[in-house]
Amino acid sequence: MEVAVYNIKGQDTGRKITLNDEVFARDLSEGNAEHTLYLDIKQYLGNQRQGTHKSKERSEVSYSTRKIGRQKGGGGARRGDLNSPLLYHGGRVFGPRPRDYRSKLNKKMKSLARKIALTSRLNDQKIIVVENFTFDAPRTKSYMEIAKNFKLEDKKVLLVFAAQDNNVLLSVRNVPNALLAQAVDLNAFTLLNNDAILLTEDSVGIINDYK
């Protein structure tokens, strides 16, 4: 499959670049494509969680343990002490405890999910291949000019480079809707969580070699 290559001014250069059909033209109707994406994204988001949430239960609330009412005849439920979950400031029943949300997923399934995500983005015409570029100095304005040329100034954009470019990184990190990633670090969630993907020519070469 061939797609057009654009320059940073948003103009078609007249050149074409070949995309690997094994990566960019998967059959999304075969197998459990949606379930594969679900498992991969679930694992990715779970691995981002700290899992440090905690609330105090009855035995951890610091109040007096004296009996606060009669056992019978009060007209309501029995409340043993001020730590009771029935009372304001009492302990919480079955509250959250620290836990590990991380899970494992085999490499073949993660790789397949990434290819499915790339195919889906290309089918939706969300992928644009641009010439390799860099900035002479870190300037947010330089990135915003590119986004404006592609009419993406108000869109969530993922820039994919073959290797880290510090000038480009420093230029986009202050833009809420822009993210810079290296081709080797792409995952299904990052690919799907945007409105457009700008791939440099060098990054396409790396992506085409995905196993």
Residue 45 confidence (pLDDT): 97
Question: Can you give the pTM of this predicted structure?
Answer: 0.84
Order across the sheet with 2-6: list the strands.
Answer: 12-18, 2-6, 127-130, 196-200, 157-161, 178-182
pLDDT at 31 over 80: no
Higher pLDDT, 184 or 88: 184
47: in domain? no
Range of the structural domain that residue 173 is part of: 2-29+104-208
What is the count of structural domains for the chain? 1
Mean pLDDT on 144-150? 96
**Among residues 156, 161, 95, which one has the least CA distance to residue 129?**
161
66: in domain? no
CA distances from 123 to 20, 103, 152, 170, 210 (A): 14, 30, 19, 31, 19
69: in domain? no
pLDDT at 65 over 90: no
Q: Which CATH number fits the domain that encloses residue 10? A: 3.40.1370.10
Q: What's the pLDDT tens digit per position in 76-121?
A: 888 788 998 988 889 999 999 999 999 999 999 999 999 999 999 9
**CB burial string 14-38: b at 16+ within 10 A, e below:** eeebebbeebbebeeeeeebeebbe
